[in-house]
Amino acid sequence: MRGVSIGIVAVSLSSAPSALVAHDASQQAFSAITNILARAWTLRVEVSQCFVEEDVRGGVKTAYSTIGAAEQRCPPGKALVHFMMPVNEVTARGDVRISIQSVGVRTEEMGWIHLHTTWLPPNAGPSTLEGARLVPRGVKLLSAEFPKEEVDEANKDARFAADWRLILHYFVAK
């Protein structure tokens, strides 16, 4: 199943993750102060096209090819962080993987989601992204939201708020 072709305009996070999480009530004040004083995150969102590849022994494995990426420097817990994809360059069809990474001395993958373009909501709501000007004339910019529970690793990471979500801004390519 190949799926429909989509143009990916941006990926947004409802908020940046926190730098430190309080594990009990006695740590809440310390956690709040640490998040205020913490250096900014450098977060990276990477979009990859997934495909099946045959190995030398005749087996198959899933492989990924990065088709777009964007970085953003922001303070921990900052509300609504947008990662704009390169204009007219990120189109996908079929299996797609979106990865959220913390980039620094070492890169830490904080979460990811696999989706198939066929399963994106056909009547997704209109996107409110300011970058809507990047969409071809006459094409409707859509958004699909994925709650924390649907994003692998982020679903278990207390640095992501309980109501956190990943938002995909896209249009159906013709």
Query: What's the rounded Cα separation, in Å, for the pair 131 and 141?
Result: 10
Q: What is the pLDDT of residues 76-91, one digit of tens each?
A: 889 999 999 887 678 8
Q: Which domains does the chain have, with CATH numbers?
A: 5-172 (2.60.40.1110)
The predicted-structure confidence for 107-164, as pLDDT tens digits, reads as follows 889 999 999 998 887 667 777 776 555 666 777 888 899 999 999 999 999 889 999 9
The pLDDT of residue 156 is 94
CA dist list (Å): 77 to 47, 98, 124, 148 = 22, 20, 27, 15
pLDDT in tens, 19-78: 765 455 555 555 555 555 556 778 999 999 988 777 777 777 778 889 999 999 988 889
Please report the pLDDT score of residue 25 as a whole number: 56
